[in-house]
Chains A and B, each alone.
Chain A
Amino acid sequence: MTPQSNAIEVRALNKFYGEFHALKSIGFQVEQGERVVICGPSGSGKSTLIRCLNRLEIHQSGFVSVQGIELGDDLRNLDAVRREAGMVFQHFNLFPHITVLQNCSLPQTLSRGTKRNDAETKAREMLSRVHILDQADKFPGQLSGGQQQRVAIARALCMEPKIMLFDEPTSALDPEMIREVLETMIDLATGGMTMVVVTHEMGFAREVADRVVYMEAGEIVESAPPATFFKTQKDQRTKRFLSRILS
């Protein structure tokens, strides 16, 4: 991996669910340190694309590489990529049977063999970074949605990823909790993290994104810096989507 290489490189990516063509020859690049927001109507393939980036979905053809590591059938590459890219899910997916602290420390132990003490130190550090260290000994079920999502972010950060992938991190949250999660994400962005965020929070896109990507029906329709994206749209479909979502 050369320092100039793209954080994410996707070329001619095709993904099928049985007969259904979910991603149609996608080309998609993310530079080191770039923040990209992906938006688009439901079913357009946003989740599928972001999940192909750490192989939660297996693509049928095309090229995907993350931090210069190609995602193919080589399982060693897969482990390496998953260490480079952390993921945050819509429904948090915290492990309910262990405490918040263990949610952050156990994955380190299991995936890298980190010593328990070191893992817990790291976990505390990340929990305090998302301002939730005081909840460390509770179980996830005892936290609010916004708190759970911040724990999920801390859990991903504990693996020291170079890239963070977010799949609609605020769409399962009550409005009053969206803010706290977005602030955490803005903090991350300010710290220089490479981020790919699927979201409908256009305010976040305006404030943080370097580039906004619009997807529809398994294709990338438009990709532009937010200033351009929100002012002039090249494609009619983008225009229609934005007028609907911003009204």
Chain B
Amino acid sequence: MAIGETNVPLTALPLKPKQPWMKLFFGDVFSSFLTILSILIVISLLPGLNWALFNATWPGGTPEACRDGGACWAFVGAKSRLILFGLYPPEHQWRATLVIVLIIAMVLASLSPRMWGNKLIMLWGAGIALMLILMGGGLLGLDTVPTSKWGGLPVVLMLAVLSLGMGFPIAVLLALGRRGSLPVARAVCTFIIELVRGLPLVGLLFVAAILLPLFLPPDWTIDKLGRTLAALTIFSSAYLAEVVRGGLQGLDKGQGEAAQALGIPYWKVIWHIILPQAIQNVIPPLTNTAIVMVKNTSLVLIVGIFDMLSAARSAATDPTWPAPSTEGYLFVALIYFAICVSISIYARHLENGVRARSHS
């Protein structure tokens, strides 16, 4: 080997840049290209930066100050209550805030795989009940707040978490059914999955929120928010089902057989042996579906749910402010971005854990 190396003609050796950073940015044609491209992008963003930072009016500023051009963050500051909480009565806003805190706390508590188990499921059950009581009131001496007044971030978080959380068990059943040996169950599950995946979410939301009440008897008043949640849940379960099915397909048949041979009952085999492995195999597409579902909650505005996007739009119609709709939307985008990036980071952390276990 060593002899072979010394025989390499000098001209074949790659150029050795003097500085390591030169090598990093201009080491070969491709990275040079990327470096130059990045520089161009940064330069093209400079006017935007000027607008967003240096000429901006910061929260606390007046509508008049915003007329000089530059971003009007003062508007976002003034309207943040509306965007974050929608039409929720201001005197009860602490309840909606508490719901946000509660959801974030429960999500944080669920992060470590060591916590996963029946206790966590019960914790979520209790947490969701508490959330509904806090938001809706009518119990424990809290004033009733109808769901038509709910809005903003708590609703977005609840829709995202609940549609994914309730969609997941349905997805598991659909995936098992589609892979199972019972022909009828297989046909039904395949039909449901393909039907829902074939429909646009907007259509599904319309059916649930607007058409469904027309067909149901008039005294069947299921809440519009509830129907929206049902539509989101069905939608997420169809997509999750295909992700889970992919995970199941990648599993060795021997896993189920070994568990059966040990006398473990069917559902416990699924829950403790098959599913954890199937899920580990599909963390990237699962993350993808979670992120898509979080962003999908922004579509509920078309059926008249007062989410953050509707709130930003209605805030922009306030005549005292000089038409600053961009800033409001940017604020909403920032919140979605923060949520989605957190999901990505968490998923990568989980994957690293899986990788550490499978190699010595």
Q: What is A's interface to B at a CB cutoff of 8 Å?
A: 54, 56, 79, 82-83, 85-87, 89, 91, 93-97, 106-107, 110-112, 139, 141-143, 152, 155-156, 159
Would B358 and A96 count as touching, CB distance under 8 A? yes
Q: Of B263, B268, B359, which contacts A142 at CB under 8 A?
A: B359
Would B261 and A82 count as touching, CB distance under 8 A? yes
Nearest-Cβ distance from residue A123 to partner chain B, whole angstroms: 13
Q: Of B254, B255, B272, B280, which contacts A110 at CB under 8 A?
A: B272
Q: Beyond the given A87-B261, A95-B255, could you list 5 further A-B residue pairs with CB under 8 A, ordered by the A residue number?
A: A82-B260, A86-B261, A97-B277, A107-B263, A111-B262
Would B262 and A155 count as touching, CB distance under 8 A? yes
**A82 and chain B: residue at smallest CB distance:** B263
Nearest-Cβ distance from residue A197 to partner chain B, whole angstroms: 15
Q: Which residues of B contact A85 (CB under 8 A)?
A: 261
**A156 and chain B: residue at smallest CB distance:** B262
B244-277 CB mask vs A (1 if < 8 Å, else 0) is 0000000010110111111111001100110011
Would A141 and B359 count as touching, CB distance under 8 A? yes
Q: Of A97, A106, A110, which contacts B265 at CB under 8 A?
A: A110
Would A93 and B258 count as touching, CB distance under 8 A? yes
Would B359 and A93 count as touching, CB distance under 8 A? no
B 310-360 contacts with A by CB, 8 A:
357-360
**A111 and chain B: residue at smallest CB distance:** B263
Known contacts A54-B261, A106-B272, A107-B264: does B255 contact A139 (CB below 8 Å)? no
Q: Which residues of A contact B276 (CB under 8 A)?
A: 97
Would A141 and B357 count as touching, CB distance under 8 A? yes
**A87 and chain B: residue at smallest CB distance:** B261
Q: Which residues of A contact B265 (CB under 8 A)?
A: 79, 110-111
**B275 and chain A: residue at smallest CB distance:** A97
**A83 and chain B: residue at smallest CB distance:** B263
Q: Which residues of B contact A91 (CB under 8 A)?
A: 252, 254
Q: Of A112, A139, A152, which contacts B358 at CB under 8 A?
A: A139
Interface size on B, residues (CB 8 A): 23
Q: Which residues of A contact B360 (CB under 8 A)?
A: 141-143
Q: Which residues of B contact A94 (CB under 8 A)?
A: 258
Q: Which residues of B contact A79 (CB under 8 A)?
A: 263, 265
Q: Which residues of A contact B358 (CB under 8 A)?
A: 96, 139, 141
Q: Which residues of B contact A155 (CB under 8 A)?
A: 262
Would A159 and B262 count as touching, CB distance under 8 A? yes
Would B261 and A56 count as touching, CB distance under 8 A? yes
Nearest-Cβ distance from residue A51 to partner chain B, whole angstroms: 8
Alpha-carbon gap, A87 to B255, bound state (A): 13
Q: Which residues of B contact A111 (CB under 8 A)?
A: 262-265, 268
Would A93 and B262 count as touching, CB distance under 8 A? no
Q: Which residues of A contact B263 (CB under 8 A)?
A: 79, 82-83, 107, 111-112, 159
Q: Of B258, B280, B357, which contacts A89 at CB under 8 A?
A: B258
Q: Which residues of B contact A159 (CB under 8 A)?
A: 262-263
Nearest 3 pairs of A and B residues by beta carbon: A93-B258, A82-B263, A93-B254
Q: Which residues of B contact A93 (CB under 8 A)?
A: 252, 254-255, 257-258
List 21 contacting pairs A-B, 8 Å CB cutoff, sorted by A.
A56-B257, A56-B261, A82-B260, A82-B262, A82-B263, A85-B261, A89-B254, A91-B252, A93-B254, A93-B255, A93-B257, A95-B255, A95-B273, A97-B357, A106-B272, A107-B262, A110-B269, A139-B357, A143-B360, A152-B258, A155-B262
Nearest-Cβ distance from residue A46 to partner chain B, whole angstroms: 16
Alpha-carbon gap, A97 to B280, bound state (A): 9
Q: Which residues of B contact A152 (CB under 8 A)?
A: 258
Nearest-Cβ distance from residue A155 to partner chain B, whole angstroms: 7
Alpha-carbon gap, A155 to B264, bound state (A): 13
**A144 and chain B: residue at smallest CB distance:** B360
**B279 and chain A: residue at smallest CB distance:** A97
Would B357 and A107 count as touching, CB distance under 8 A? no
Nearest-Cβ distance from residue B96 to partner chain A, whole angstroms: 39
Q: Which residues of A contact B254 (CB under 8 A)?
A: 89, 91, 93
Q: Which residues of A contact B277 (CB under 8 A)?
A: 95-97
**B267 and chain A: residue at smallest CB distance:** A110
Alpha-carbon gap, A91 to B257, bound state (A): 12
**B280 and chain A: residue at smallest CB distance:** A97
Alpha-carbon gap, A141 to B357, bound state (A): 7
Q: Which residues of B contact A156 (CB under 8 A)?
A: 261-262
**A159 and chain B: residue at smallest CB distance:** B262
Alpha-carbon gap, A176 to B280, bound state (A): 33
Nearest-Cβ distance from residue B56 to partner chain A, whole angstroms: 50
Alpha-carbon gap, A87 to B276, bound state (A): 23
Q: Which residues of A contact B273 (CB under 8 A)?
A: 95
Nearest-Cβ distance from residue B264 to partner chain A, whole angstroms: 5
Known contacts A93-B254, A141-B359, A142-B359: does B268 contact A110 (CB below 8 Å)? yes
Q: Which residues of A contact B357 (CB under 8 A)?
A: 96-97, 139, 141-142
Nearest-Cβ distance from residue A147 to partner chain B, whole angstroms: 11
Q: Which residues of A contact B252 (CB under 8 A)?
A: 91, 93
Q: Which residues of B contact A56 (CB under 8 A)?
A: 257, 260-261
**A51 and chain B: residue at smallest CB distance:** B257
Q: Among B276, B280, B357, which residue has the most Cβ atoms of chain A within 10 A?
A: B357
Q: Which residues of B contact A89 (CB under 8 A)?
A: 254, 257-258
